[in-house]
Structure 1
């Protein structure tokens, strides 16, 4: 999830484009993610879990491998959308699978699952920054020698030694390698193990809470995640760009900007870690009550950054 924000300036530079020229990549990723999640929700009860998860991971892996090998902006959008499609589908399947496996005890398990999701995102800046194009900041002087504008430029496209493969491909290939490992594991489970799916839904719960309550909670959670997670992902995607840019921006180096992104993501990891234990002690309603304050704080931070 986090590799796009870090690699976007490098990928755009390799295409001889600016970040503004390829900004629609966020639409492609969002559309792919929503499509994958929607289709996974439809197929969840019709296709075997292992097979469905394997298909989505395979699609994601193909998109990840092809993204750094882009030839033009159109293919860039296609490959990003393809990897997001697989990501959205697989995450949806994995969440539902946890509900089947652990039933009423799934709350801390789901939090634990998303903790590792965030932890992987937080490690990505450290693993990927050696393979990103370096950023050079310089000052443009007028005829009389006074500084007029400060500008940033990127290192020319760099390749893996003795190849024509861009250096930025390395972190993408590493991610694809882990995805291949997941595919292999899912296939092994598919053919050598059986999924003991137990009924996780207490039928009395619907009668106790009522249908209206469930729809209201569904709408409220949709709005919260639509605003909170959506703004978080977009803000992080442009955080690295904000770090390396001159105006507006912080004019940091490549490594410092990557570390700034890691600080943001590790903050999410810390919150996700405590959520594992929080979910064992407090109800879902109590947990959701802290989200409006979090959304307000994040909105204020976004206004300060941009």
Structure 2
């Protein structure tokens, strides 16, 4: 008996090196936060480097976003078929190598290409972080997801501190023509450049005779530091790949006590899986659109609304928002141990609705209300995305394709909503930002209520179907298999 027990322990690869693998996931989350925050801060440096207008250089951010969308979609299939640590290690190494090239690129088309490739690599990293967390911890992945997303936000804050001293060009915020904003998100970070009245004002490109030439730019230093961190973390994942012989995928990870109960208790039908995935896709589009609009337009709203904050006070407002955002993710690491993801999501989404209502009613005329609403919005948004992923894992089986689908919806939201909001502002006014935000906040809460109702009803139907099948097998004298396979979507 004792020998058989030892053999069973040896067969399970998950408990072994679990802390090391968790630390690796957290480090790659920090890398992701570093990698997707630095392009927005260095945008003007890259513009001078390739000698194009500001309108043209902003397309590099679009190219990166499209690459991230492609990477998120393609990685779902790779993580289901190739050893996960090897895929993530390759993505980290590729992101580090491409990141080191970007500050030296002199050709505009080549810059767009490298940005797109970089986006593909970060898309793989983003999917891998969430997928490995769920595969390693199962239903107990909540604190790990919260910690990872907190480090994503922390990575963006670190970049803003490190890159600043190496910038030789800064936007003139006093004329109101150009507003640079660096947006940091859970489970995605996006950068926006928003022009006054949707007009683009190209900055002058310095020639060799100017006092500041291309050789004085030091932006390559933070890029190389970031690339070195990416490559070092990739070596850790290559080492894990060499130590672990079996693929660590959710579909083969049923011997782990953290996920075993999930596989034996899940009563999931194919119709239920398709329905819930479609509803989750819509929910992510609504909620992440909420994040994209608030993060992307908060600074501009503070300056253009009736309160008319100065650039310094508007920057302080965004700092207050991010302070609440990071604080919420840190506290959520502990709270997620005792609160069900359903409860956390209801609290978070209700807080978003309350903050949006306050900003819609008083944010345009009261600076105090604008600060209070922004801080409340940051606290409410901080833990919403990791809680949603954990809730999904408790209701359906999460594989690489499903994780990739989540991040495709996230990327689409960050691509579409700022463009839609820009059109609405042009037609109406800057105040429409908060009205649209309120609509999305309420819609997100209602969609989650629908999700919860559908999940509860379908789960009960699945239990009844399973019981009926077991009774039939008992009557027919057949053996019962309590672990039936469900086809992946």
Which is worse superposed, 189-198 or 113-122? 189-198
> Counterpart in 2 of 1:203?
263
* Cα distance in 1, alignment partners of residues 296 and 39 from structure 2: 7
> Counterpart in 2 of 1:96?
131
- Is the aligned partner of 1:27 residue 2:87? no
Describe the shift of the 1:305–1:194 C-alpha distance in structure 2 as closer, same or farther (beyond 3 A): farther
* Cα distance in 2, alignment partners of residues 305 and 170 from structure 1: 41
Q: What secondary structure is seen at the aligned counterpart in 2 of 1:71?
A: coil
Residue in structure 2 matching 1:120, options 132, 146, 155: 155
* Cα distance in 2, alignment partners of residues 136 and 179 from structure 1: 33
* Cα distance in 2, alignment partners of residues 286 and 60 from structure 1: 37
Residue in structure 1 matching 2:323, options 234, 243, 266: 266
- Is the aligned partner of 1:50 residue 2:85? yes
Describe the shift of the 1:110–1:171 C-alpha distance in structure 2 as closer, same or farther (beyond 3 A): same
What residue ranges of structure 1 are gaps of 5+ in the alignment?
Answer: 140-150
> Counterpart in 2 of 1:218?
277
Q: What secondary structure is seen at the aligned counterpart in 2 of 1:44?
A: helix
Where do residues 154-173 of structure 1 align in structure 2 (5 Å cutoff)? 164=215, 166-173=217-224
Describe the shift of the 1:85–1:44 C-alpha distance in structure 2 as closer, same or farther (beyond 3 A): same
Which is worse superposed, 30-39 or 214-223? 214-223
Describe the shift of the 1:136–1:38 C-alpha distance in structure 2 as closer, same or farther (beyond 3 A): closer
> Contact 1:59/1:86 (CA < 8 Å) preserved in 2?
yes
* Cα distance in 1, alignment partners of residues 270 and 332 from structure 2: 27
Residue in structure 1 matching 2:170, options 134, 139, 153: 134
Instruction: Give the drift of 1:134.
Output: 3.4
- Is the aligned partner of 1:283 residue 2:349? no
Q: What secondary structure is seen at the aligned counterpart in 1 of 2:218?
A: coil
- Is the aligned partner of 1:177 residue 2:228? yes
* Cα distance in 1, alignment partners of residues 352 and 247 from structure 2: 38
Instruction: Give the drift of 1:120.
Output: 1.0
Deviations 1:158-190 (A, max 9, x none): 9xxxx9473122211111010011111112222
What residue ranges of structure 2 are gaps of 5+ in the alignment?
Answer: 1-35, 176-200, 209-213, 361-373, 375-420, 422-429, 434-489
> Contact 2:53/2:203 (CA < 8 Å) preserved in 1?
no
* Cα distance in 1, alignment partners of residues 170 and 263 from structure 2: 58
* Cα distance in 2, alignment partners of residues 70 and 292 from structure 1: 46
* Cα distance in 2, alignment partners of residues 285 and 93 from structure 1: 24
* Cα distance in 1, alignment partners of residues 298 and 106 from structure 2: 25
* Cα distance in 1, alignment partners of residues 51 and 271 from structure 2: 53
> Contact 1:122/1:266 (CA < 8 Å) preserved in 2?
no
> Counterpart in 1 of 2:238?
187
* Cα distance in 2, alignment partners of residues 281 and 60 from structure 1: 36
Question: TM-score normalized by structure 2?
Answer: 0.49
Instruction: Give the drift of 1:101.
Output: 1.6
> Contact 2:46/2:57 (CA < 8 Å) preserved in 1?
no
Question: TM-score normalized by structure 1?
Answer: 0.75
Q: Which has the larger radius of gyration?
A: 2
Residue in structure 2 matching 1:41, options 55, 73, 76: 76
* Cα distance in 1, alignment partners of residues 271 and 60 from structure 2: 38
* Cα distance in 2, alignment partners of residues 260 and 13 from structure 1: 30
* Cα distance in 2, alignment partners of residues 191 and 63 from structure 1: 24
Which is worse superposed, 163-172 or 192-201? 192-201
* Cα distance in 1, alignment partners of residues 323 and 65 from structure 2: 23
Q: What secondary structure is seen at the aligned counterpart in 2 of 1:167?
A: coil
> Contact 2:55/2:202 (CA < 8 Å) preserved in 1?
no
> Counterpart in 2 of 1:69?
104
> Contact 1:5/1:237 (CA < 8 Å) preserved in 2?
no
> Counterpart in 2 of 1:147?
none
